[in-house]
Structure 1
Amino acid sequence: MNRQEISDAVVDVGWRYILTTLMTTVPVGSVGQAAEVAARCTAVAGDDADRHLSLDLRAGQVLLSLQSIAEGRVSERDIELARALTGSLREIGLATVPAAGRPVQLIELAVDAVNIPAVRPFWKAVLGYGDDPAEAGDPSGAITDPHRLGPAVWFQQMDTARVERNRIHLDISVPHDAAAQRIADALAAGGVLLSAAAAPAYWILADVEGNEVCVTTWQGRD
């Protein structure tokens, strides 16, 4: 399935496709209710729970993520699970919504490097990270937190070192229908739009001192 098909398959049930993951939130009233949601979702996912489902439980919400973890991508099974989880939660009066406080998002750290294989081991060691499952064996591939808590780190190939400019920037991946508001908020807060040439895949913004950040979506990448 391409990215458009993945997004279309889940958007009507309150999930959003972000990077290589399906995400949503379930508003709850307590940690106890969050635990009940987790138990219900785990039961619905059954034997596939460990291979596809991740949960973050808080007093006000449960963050649900679906991905075929070993492959580092969204599969048809993840889409089936998203719809099944939403249906099951609706039976007990709970909803899956992509924005509870703020829209769901994923953050990546991008490191510019002339010699990626030379700098990558340092970042892997200092962060305690491992190879991204989708890029295992690639000496220039992304690295990820094995506990799936910290942001992924990827390496941008440079021909020459950039002087007097930040060489590390954040990529903030947001739902495709939340990007415009996120950019507007950043600009209203004093940010500057440096480039929209690659939009809607990504927009390059900066603070008033030139430190860059990219706001990204899945769109424009198929």
Structure 2
Amino acid sequence: MTGPEASEAVHDHGWRFLLGSLRTSVPVGSPAEAIDVAATASTVCGSDADRRLTVDARPHRVVLTPQSVDRAAVTTRDVELARLVSAAVRQTGPSTTGPETGTGAPRSVQSLEIAIDALRIAEIRPFWKAVLGYADEAGAGGPEDPLVDPVGQGPAIWFQQLDRARPQRNRIHVDICVPHDEAPRRIEAALAAGGRLVSATRAPAFWVLADAEGNEACVTTWRGRD
């Protein structure tokens, strides 16, 4: 599905579309309740749970992520599963809604990636794969493709091609993918905290920000990519 299609299809059900996946955060009051929510979601997804549903259960929050992992993308089936999960979880008490609708959570959903600038990506990629214990992204595996944590604990790693050496510029930065309508608030907060806007030429796909010493981070959304 395209970004606009996926975002529109799930927004009213309490889910948000990030890059390549759907995601929601369910507030809970205990580890036991978190496990119940995870079990409910898994049961509703049935046989699709093993290959389409990722669950991160914590004492106060359960993050659910439906995705067609083999394609690293969102399909109509993932949207269908998200809606089914919302209906089932709602019957047990919690709701698949983000903090912008009043749940009081510290923030909404997001995904984190680390970008590494390189002149010779194929040469350095094996090092990062080995030192992090990472694996090839589903459907990828080329000498310049992203790397992912096979157990889902760490951020994805991707490589940005340099055309020349830049010794005065940081070579590693983080990308924070947020729901498209939450990006302005995140950027305003970063600027108010002492950051500066380096570039908005690729917005709303991403904005480049930097701290007071020039270390960069990008706030990204799905918009401007289709």
Q: TM-score range by the shorter chain?
A: over 0.9
Distance 1:41 1:103 in 2: 19
Provide the residue aligned with 2:150 in structure 1.
146
Aligned-partner residue type, residue 122 of structure 1: F
Distance 1:95 1:51 in 2: 24
Provide the residue aligned with 2:114 in structure 1.
109
CA-CA distance at 1:71 after TM superposition: 1.7
C-alpha contact (below 8 Å) 1:108/1:170 kept by paired residues: yes
Identical-pair percentage: 54
Q: Does 1:135 align with 2:140?
A: yes
Distance 2:116 2:28 in 1: 37
Equivalent pairs, count: 221
Q: Deviations over 1:105-127 (max 9, x none)?
A: 10100000111100100000000
Q: Which has the larger displacement, 206-215 or 158-167?
A: 158-167
C-alpha contact (below 8 Å) 1:111/1:156 kept by paired residues: yes
Aligned-partner residue type, residue 134 of structure 2: Y
CA-CA distance at 1:92 after TM superposition: 2.1
Provide the residue aligned with 2:11 in structure 1.
11
Runs of 4+ in 1 over 4 A off after TM superposition: none
Out of 155, 165, 168, which is 1:164 matched to? 168
Q: Deviations over 1:163-207 (max 9, x none)?
A: 111000000000111100000000000000011111000000000
Provide the residue aligned with 1:209 in structure 2.
213
Provide the residue aligned with 2:2 in structure 1.
2
Calculate the aligned-residue CA RMSD, in Å: 0.9
CA-CA distance at 1:135 after TM superposition: 2.0
Aligned-partner residue type, residue 70 of structure 1: D
Provide the residue aligned with 2:75 in structure 1.
75
Matches within 5 A, 1:183-222: 183-222=187-226
TM-score normalised by L of structure 1:
0.97
C-alpha contact (below 8 Å) 1:73/1:134 kept by paired residues: no
Q: Which has the larger displacement, 166-175 or 68-77?
A: 68-77
Distance 1:86 1:216 in 2: 26
CA-CA distance at 1:89 after TM superposition: 1.2
Give the unaligned 5+ runs of structure 1: none
C-alpha contact (below 8 Å) 1:129/1:143 kept by paired residues: yes
SS of 2:25's equivalent? strand
SS of 2:92's equivalent? coil
Distance 1:134 1:188 in 2: 40
Q: Does 1:43 align with 2:46?
A: no
